[in-house]
Amino acid sequence: MVTYREDGSSEVQLGQTRVMGIVTAQLVQPYRDRPKEGMLSIFTEFSPMADPSFEPGRPGELAVELGRIIDRGLRESRAVDTESLCILAGKFVWAVRIDIHILDNGGNLVDAANIAALAALLTFRRPECSLGGEDGQEVIVHPPEIREPLPLMVHHLPIAITFGFFSNESILLIDPTHNEEAVMNGRMTTTVNANGDICAIQKGGGEGVPQRVIMQCLQLATSKAASITKQIKDAVEAFNTERALRKIKRHPTSTGVDVREKQNQYTCNIPVSLEHFKSKTEVVITRTRKHYPLNMAA
């Protein structure tokens, strides 16, 4: 389930796992050796609210690994176009920061966090800016009320799919839950996109698996990636249409504003004459729980 509240923020529910992604951007000076490229950085917060074993403070190795997998999927596959983030070469570029907050650990945090990051990136809008000043060296950032903010250029969506291996029973699981993760022998995360390109594969130790099994995983991942990509895109579409509708109704005249209530939680009836237009888009991603027999012998 992917829900949106506002530009650049998303909340993903994958079974019992719940992850929130927030995207913000800032104008900074680019790296010296890459003056024409913007920056993309990912911060993962394994909040202690997700799991009693998560410690607050410095990210543990799981958090770092998760951040690295998502980072590799986005940055090295050039999913987000960093050159379009450059405003003034060598002086001003946009640094996009993705914060991933893990709210509830029901297993398979990598996949959920990846979807949250992608969804937030797709709905993020950065302010439009133009060059000005006497010599064209100053950057003027236009506030969103004056000029419509622009979306990021995202070429493709790398989707991470995690598999778990159980060698004793020769079982391959896709999308392990928290209990399954505790007992599985090995894990592998593949990041593929809907075009069938492999963006990243991460298999860190654990039980050794034959090549055949890896190929099987990749094929499964490619088919899953297509359906997940479609779901993300549908949710983004729905959000964009509601956003466009909201913009039309936003015009001043404080009387006669749309009185529609969109609260799917319990609300009190403290009298309010005018309501904010709130929208929630929902897409259900059913948690896939399939077992595939491995043929380990032979």
Partner 1 sequence: MEVDREDGRSQNQLRPLACSRNILHRAHGSASWSQGDTKVLAAVYGPKAGTKKNENPEKACIEVIWKPKTGQIGKLEKEYEMILKRTLQSICILTVNPNTTTSVMIQVVNDDGALLPSAINAACMALVDAGIPMRHLAVSISCCVARSGVSGLVILDPTKLEEQKMKAFAYLVFPNSVHSVLPEGSPSVQGEPIENGIITSVTHGTMSVDDYFYCLERGRAASTKLSDFLRRNLQQQPTNSSKAG
CA distance 128 to 142: 6
Closer to partner 1 by Cβ: residue 25 or 184? 25
Closer to partner 1 by Cβ: residue 234 or 261? 261
Closer to partner 1 by Cβ: residue 179 or 219? 179
Least separation in angstroms between CB 275 and partner 1: 6
Provide the pairing of β-strand 186-192 with 198-202: antiparallel
Tokens of 59: 């990210």
Other beta carbons within 10 angstroms of residue 168's beta carbon come to 8
Instruction: Tell me whether residue 57 is exposed, middle or buried, using C-beta atoms within 10 angstroms of its C-beta: 0 to 12, 13 to 18, 19 or more.
Output: exposed
Closer to partner 1 by Cβ: residue 79 or 102? 102
Least separation in angstroms between CB 255 and partner 1: 7
Burial 171-188 (b: 16+ CB within 10 A, else e): bbbbbbbbebbeebebbb
Closer to partner 1 by Cβ: residue 168 or 265? 265
Closer to partner 1 by Cβ: residue 46 or 165? 46
Tokens of 261: 């209530």
Least separation in angstroms between CB 75 and partner 1: 19
Closer to partner 1 by Cβ: residue 211 or 273? 273
Which are the contacts of 157, defined by CB distance < 8 A and separation ≥ 6? 79, 118, 122, 193, 194, 229, 232, 233
Least separation in angstroms between CB 184 and partner 1: 19
Other beta carbons within 10 angstroms of residue 266's beta carbon come to 5
Least separation in angstroms between CB 52 and partner 1: 5
DSSP class per residue in 152-188: P-B----EEEEEEEETTTTEEEES--HHHHHH-SEEE
Least separation in angstroms between CB 37 and partner 1: 22
Least separation in angstroms between CB 209 and partner 1: 30
Question: H or E element: which one contains 115?
Answer: helix 109-123
Closer to partner 1 by Cβ: residue 99 or 229? 99
Residue type, 36: K
**What residues line the site for partner 1 (CB under 8 A)?**
5-6, 9, 16, 18, 20, 22, 24, 45, 47-52, 56, 97, 99, 101, 103-106, 178, 254-255, 257, 261, 263, 265-268, 270-276
Q: Give the closest residue to 116 by CA, choosing from 195, 44, 224, 41.
A: 44
Least separation in angstroms between CB 109 and partner 1: 12
